[in-house]
């Protein structure tokens, strides 16, 4: 493995942008398939945008707790087919160590991410969304999160006013009705709590419980929403979690960043923002007086509240 040189795909949008599950899986077209079995699939694909080649691996495992198939993806940038052919002969343990995009679909439904990206990156000329959020103090982080969720609120209100917000769960067949005021109520309670700490904790805890069953329904596909509406709902839920003391997701991502990312995802997918407009919106929240270019293209990792 040491003789293989995996170079960062610096001109590929998958390297530059914040990754989403759906955009990642839709980014490729097939080039070559390797001999596979029912558990391990390997192939060469190329980016539809720039033509960059990626060795791809998808490993399927049966989850003993749910009897669902857990899927784990790896996308390794390669310079040519010959390099991909060499990688295709390696065991999974070695393949996992290369510079690559990783994605897990069930049990945790994590976000796509580059492993070993920091080691492969030179001095930054762009700033990631997470870097930007981490560079803000807590007051500005909340201000940005609230502004974005509030900007996405009409997406929720428009949809909920025109559609029945209800579902039947697939486990026991019970009928559930979603309170249409959950997202605006989140904004109201969070603003009050930030203005006067510990004043809204009881109501926020009740609201957190109210989110639980709809979130499970989304994960189980018992309740389906358009992407922008779903991302707005996730952002509101995670904002409640953040204010109640959660700081990171199970994937060690800052929860306030996740809220901001989900809200951006909602706004961009609904064409409220272009990517350039999103970057401009972020620059307004920069606490330093210089203009910084932030690469924004929010992620979409469904299902799951931690997106």
The alpha-helical segments, DSSP class H, found in the chain are 13-16, 21-25, 81-87, 92-95, 117-120, 129-134, 138-162, 182-195, 201-219, 227-243, 255-269, 275-283
Quickly count helices (H) and strands (E) in the chain.
Answer: 12, 10
> Would residue 5 count as lying in a domain?
no
Say if residue 107 is preceded by a cis peptide, omega within 30 of 0: yes
* 55, 89, 123 - which closes a domain: 123
Q: Which one, of 198, 219, 225, lies nearest residue 306 by Cα?
A: 219
Q: How is residue 20 annotated by DSSP?
A: -
Does residue 304 belong to any structural domain of this protein?
A: no
Structure confidence by residue, pLDDT tens digits, 259-306: 999 999 899 889 998 888 888 888 776 644 333 444 555 544 333 333
pLDDT of residue 207: 97
Does residue 302 lie in a domain region? no
Prior bond of 122 cis (ω within 30°): no
Q: Does 100 lie in the same domain as 209?
A: no
pLDDT, position 75: 96
User: Which residue is listed with tokens 């070993």?
Assistant: 116
Last residue within a domain, chosen from 123, 156, 172: 123
pLDDT at 301: 39
Exposed/middle/buried for residue 229 (C-beta within 10 Å: 0-12, 13-18, 19+): buried
Q: Examine the domain organization and report whether 109 and 165 are in the same domain.
A: no
DSSP 3-state assignment of 106? coil
**Are residues 219 and 167 part of one domain?**
yes
Scan for tokens 């510079």, then name that residue: 99
Looking at the structure, do residues 72 and 199 belong to the same domain, yes or no? Answer: no
207: domain range?
A: 131-295
Give the end of a domain, one of 102, 123, 144.
123
According to DSSP, the β-strands at 294-295 and 127-128 are parallel
* Any domain includes 75: yes
Rounded Cα distance between 32 and 61, Å, is: 23
Single out the residue of 193, 197, 25, 13 nearest to residue 109, CA to CA. 25
Answering whether pTM is above 0.85, one says no
For residue 271, what are its two tokens? 């064409």
Question: Do residue 41 and residue 169 come from a single domain?
Answer: no
Looking at the fold, whether 156 and 48 belong to one and the same domain comes out as no
Look at residue 4 and tell me if it is in a domain. Answer: no
As a whole number of angstroms, the distance between CA 182 and CA 237 comes to 9
Residue 36, token pair as written in the block: 């596979």
Same domain, 110 and 194: no
> Which phi-psi region, left, alpha or beta, contains residue 38 (left: φ > 0; alpha: ψ -120 to 50)?
alpha
**pLDDT tens for residues 221-260?**
889 999 899 999 999 999 999 999 999 987 788 999 999 9
Q: What distance, in Å, lies between the first and last C-alpha atoms of the chain?
A: 33
Which positions of the chain have pLDDT values less than 50?
A: 1-2, 122-126, 287-294, 299-307
Does 146 share its domain with 88?
no
2 in any annotated domain? no
The pLDDT, as a whole number, for residue 1 is: 41
Residues 6+ apart with CB under 8 A from 208: 237, 240, 241, 244
**Do 101 and 244 belong to one domain?**
no
Tokens 């940038």 sit on residue: 77
Considering the domain boundaries, does residue 6 fall inside one?
Answer: no
Instruction: Give the total number of structural domains in the chain.
Output: 2
Residues 217 and 80 in one domain: no
Q: What is the pLDDT, as a whole number, of residue 93? A: 87
Specify if 191 maps to a domain. Answer: yes
pLDDT score for 237: 96
**Based on the domain organization, do 181 and 262 belong to the same domain?**
yes
For residues 146 and 115, membership in a common domain is answered with: no
């Amino acid at each position: 493995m040491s003789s293989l040189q995996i170079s960062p795909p610096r001109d590929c949008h998958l390297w530059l942008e914040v990754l989403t599950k759906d955009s990642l899986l839709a980014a490729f077209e097939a080039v070559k398939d390797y001999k596979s079995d029912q558990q391990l699939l390997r192939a060469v694909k190329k980016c539809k945008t720039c033509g960059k080649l990626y060795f791809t691996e998808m490993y399927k495992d049966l989850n003993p707790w749910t009897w669902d198939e857990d899927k784990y993806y790896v996308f390794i940038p390669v310079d040519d087919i010959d390099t991909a052919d060499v990688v295709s002969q390696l065991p999974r343990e070695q393949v996992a160590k290369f510079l690559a995009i990783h994605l897990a679909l069930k049990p945790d439904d994590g976000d796509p991410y580059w492993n070993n990206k920091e080691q492969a990156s030179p001095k930054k000329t762009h700033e990631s969304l997470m870097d930007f959020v981490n560079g803000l103090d807590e007051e500005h982080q909340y201000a940005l999160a609230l502004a974005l969720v509030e900007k996405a609120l009409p997406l929720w209100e428009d949809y909920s006013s025109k559609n029945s917000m209800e579902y039947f769960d697939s486990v026991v067949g019970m009928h559930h009705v979603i309170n249409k005021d959950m997202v605006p109520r989140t904004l109201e309670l969070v603003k009050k709590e930030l203005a006067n700490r510990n004043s809204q904790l009881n109501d926020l805890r009740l609201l957190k419980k109210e989110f639980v069953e709809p979130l499970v329904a989304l994960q189980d596909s018992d309740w389906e929403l358009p992407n922008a509406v779903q991302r707005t709902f996730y952002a509101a839920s995670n904002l409640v979690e953040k204010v109640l003391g959660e700081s990171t997701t199970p994937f060690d991502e800052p929860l306030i960043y996740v809220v901001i990312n989900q809200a951006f995802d909602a706004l961009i997918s609904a064409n409220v923002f272009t990517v350039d407009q999103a970057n401009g919106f972020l620059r307004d929240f920069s606490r330093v007086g210089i203009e910084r270019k932030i690469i924004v293209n929010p992620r979409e990792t469904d299902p799951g509240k931690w997106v």
